[in-house]
A and B are shown apart, each in its own frame.
Chain A
Amino acid sequence: MSRPKLVCSALAFALILAADAHAATDADLAEIRDQIRQLKESYEARIQALEQRLQDAELAATRSSAAPPAKASPPAVTPDATVAASAPAPAASGLSAFNPAISAVLQGAYANFSQDPNKYAIAGFVPSGDIVPAKRSFNLAESELSLSANVDDKIYGNLIFSLTPENTVSVEEAYGLFTTAPFGTAPKFGRFLSSIGYLNDQHQHAWDFYDAPLVYQAFLGGQYQNNGLQLKWLAPTDTFVEVGAEVGSGESFPGNGRNKNGVGDGTAYVHVGDDVGASNSWRAGASYLQTAARDREYTQADLAGNDALVAFTGRSKVAIADFVWKWAPNGNAQERNFKLQGEYFWRRENGDLTYDSDGALGLTRTGNYRSDQSGFYVQGVWQFMPAWRVGARYDWLNPGSVDYSANGAYLANGSFDPQRWTAMFDWTPSEFSRFRVQYQQAKLRPGFTDNEIFVQYILTLGAHGAHKY
């Protein structure tokens, strides 16, 4: 129903109601009907006039847009059979017309570990959750399903499910983004991957290696996800300067769910980037995350060799410095290109640690706890011909200092530096598929050297997504 008709009907309805309240006589009714008819007519006349004006305006626009006739031999637009002017595609109709863009990512890998992946752990670092890269043999890796569309004139919405090989579904991202916010701001709300660091807000299928760098595994439990609000502001300068901050529930590692009102975590970051000539571009950033944990439990072997239950309550602060530099001859990455990236992480945790020997003595003690730990990775990926790339990565973690104070009699942290060397080779037959072989030697615990091999596939189907820089 057109708008004026709606208005008319609404008016009519209101009038009838009002009239009804006065026990309308036939004469009244006739009068009302007449009024409605007049209203309708006047509206229709006005609509017609408007439509006529619109038509005229459109005509004028096409006339002015069509090339004004040039006096000197205008280029005749030859009606060539091969130049068949295509009519505009018929608009999709019905309920499906507003379907969101759908895309899916299918992933899998064959994995080979020389050490038992069930015992995967990083010495000297608090277990951060499920960070085991794969199981032995053939694996189905995470599949992703994403739906996105403009919600209305102000908001864009995006939902990304992750379907795990264990047949569970998790919501990786589900957020709204204000598209028309002023002053170069982009407010986002919902669940999203935090924009701290460089790799954190990129989805796994966009990474250049099969698994996350060790710093991400040790300090953020893989990737830092937030439920909350994000505000980014882009400076009105020719150089890219982005300032962002997030507040959220703080349920992700190194924090945890604390059943608390208000804000659970906060992040702040600055990203700066630009081009150097036509061939080089770069981005660098600094990020800070502050969150907290209450009774974050894990097991740790104590000095007596028992598996003790340990719980941390306190604050966790993470600082990240990141950079990425890309080179392609004249900016044409199609033939050859090189990408160098690295990130440095630092984390401080201070609070109380409760030690439960869980042994015969049934000893439970709470004491101060403070840790200062750091690490970095640096990686390079070289595309030497279209579709083919090789890459190398080096990971290093510094267990730093961990002060158990009163619990020092039972717990200690080694001084072992976990390290990993990785080599990668991949083939990208099209924008939508990639096959990768990766070998890495991981020394994550003293005396254990794990040789790991992954053969991975990534397939993308559906809507054409754009990848972040």
Chain B
Amino acid sequence: MKRLLRLGVAGLLLLPPAVAWATLNVFATVPEWGALAEELGGDKVKVYVATNALQDPHHVEAKPSLIARARAADLVVATGAELEIGWLPLVMQQAGNPKIQPGKPGYFEAASLVPMLEKPTRLDRADGDVHPGGNPHIQTDPRNILRIAGPLATRLAELDPPNAAFYQARAKAFTERYGTAIANWEKQAAPLKGVPILVQHKAFTYLIAWLGMREVAALEPKPGVEPTTSWLSEVLALLQQQPAKMVIRAAYQSDKASLWIAERAKLKAVALPFTVGGDDEAKDLYGLFDDTIARLLKGIQ
């Protein structure tokens, strides 16, 4: 029996890995980095996206499927800034994959490459779901995606030197095309400048800063804390002095609080895709902002 067991274990260890070596396996924690890795890597990368746009990225579980995929990954692309703290460290620890540990080339963190907003001046859980590194929802500003594209292409090239020129060429092409797109979006979004809005969760800080909108209040009394009726009443009172045009929420969020306030304050409730796959139009990084801006413009009509 013991001998059999030993033989079995030895046999399993020698099994040829089921994954193909030809392509680079990328494990993206959220859809936006999966989409970016696909833009830059084309058919040279195989992208697995750990979460979808309808999931709250703060509350994901270290599911067996994620651990299995992290085991085969050559590169983990994460947001960082503690967005994935509830599950990614555990997934990486259980994956038994030394390549993707923090500090190794196989671990890429986007938040360290962009200027972070809302960095808390004091760290106290009494303030809700506080992220010491700043607000982690950086993908709501397309300029951040552009900032990350270059370093991510460099990283892909580093991990897969034979295709280095391929990644750099794609990064160049993407940067040009996306830069043009951003300029267009900025033009389209000109009427949004200075528009006062409500947000359900402080998920759109970067979008608001980019388009020059004004956040009057959030429906969550504190980040990550569910809206309460008493707090919503306070927000209603605030709206008397500072009227807002619309209330925006991410696709993954419940519409209850938004609709509640929209009905009472006579403003529009707008659901934004938030990330790639958040709605039918947000199929890629272009569709994401085409649709976001279209929906925002509808909100001020």
Contact = CB atoms under 8 A, between A and B. Distances in A.
Interface of A: 61, 64-68, 70-75, 77, 80, 82-86, 156, 177, 179-186, 232-243, 245, 268, 271-275, 278, 281-283, 326, 329-335, 386-387, 429-432, 461, 464, 466-469
Contacts of B154: 61, 64-65
A232 B252 CA distance: 35
B13 interface: yes
A84 B150 contact: no
Contacts of A83: 115, 117, 209
A334 B61 CA distance: 11
B54 A330 contact: yes
B62 A469 contact: yes
B89 interface: yes
Q: Pick the most buried of B61, B142, B146, B186: most chain A CB atoms within 10 A of its CB.
A: B61
A468 B62 contact: yes
B230 interface: no
Nearest to A272: B64
A179 B17 contact: no
Contact of B71 (A72, A156, A184): A184
Contacts of B5: 268
A331 B65 CA distance: 12
A236 B17 contact: yes
A171 to B, nearest CB: 21
Interface string B97-117: 110010000000000010111
Nearest to A154: B98
B236 to A, nearest CB: 21
Give chain B's interface residue range (CB within 8 Å of chain A): 35 or more
Contacts of B98: 179-182
17 contacts: A65-B154, A73-B183, A74-B179, A80-B209, A83-B209, A86-B115, A86-B134, A183-B96, A184-B96, A236-B71, A275-B63, A278-B54, A333-B61, A464-B82, A466-B85, A466-B90, A469-B63
Interface in B59-96: 59-65, 67-69, 71-72, 82, 85-90, 93-96
A86 B120 CA distance: 11
B62 A466 contact: yes
Given A72-B180, A238-B72, A469 B93 contact: no
Interface in B238-294: 252, 254
A65 B147 CA distance: 7
B67 to A, nearest CB: 6
B105 to A, nearest CB: 13
Contacts of A268: 5
B172 interface: yes
Interface string B1-43: 0000100010011010111000000000000000000000000
A334 B56 contact: yes
A234 B175 contact: no
Contacts of A235: 12, 15, 68, 71
B115 A66 contact: no
Nearest to A461: B125
Contacts of B82: 464
B13 to A, nearest CB: 6
10 interchain residue pairs of minimum CB distance: A273-B64, A70-B179, A240-B64, A85-B115, A180-B98, A466-B90, A240-B68, A65-B151, A75-B182, A330-B54
Contact of B146 (A75, A329, A431): A75
Nearest to B64: A273
Contacts of A233: 9, 12-13, 96
B235 interface: no
Contacts of B67: 234, 240, 242
Contacts of B15: 235-236
B143 interface: yes
Contacts of A66: 147, 150
A334 B60 CA distance: 9
A67 B150 contact: yes
Given A74-B179, A75-B179, A432-B125, A238 B52 contact: no
Contacts of B142: 75
A326 B182 contact: no
A332 B68 contact: no
A330 B176 contact: no
B232 to A, nearest CB: 15
B224 interface: yes
Contacts of A72: 176, 179-180, 183
B64 A274 contact: yes
A277 B228 CA distance: 33
B149 interface: yes
A183 B16 CA distance: 11
B59 A333 contact: yes
B86 A466 contact: yes
Given A179-B98, A334-B56, 20 more contacts: A65-B113, A65-B151, A67-B150, A68-B172, A74-B179, A75-B182, A75-B186, A83-B209, A85-B115, A86-B117, A235-B71, A236-B71, A238-B68, A273-B63, A282-B64, A330-B52, A331-B55, A333-B61, A466-B85, A466-B89
A71 B176 contact: yes
Contact of A65 (B150, B180, B183): B150
Contacts of B254: 335, 386
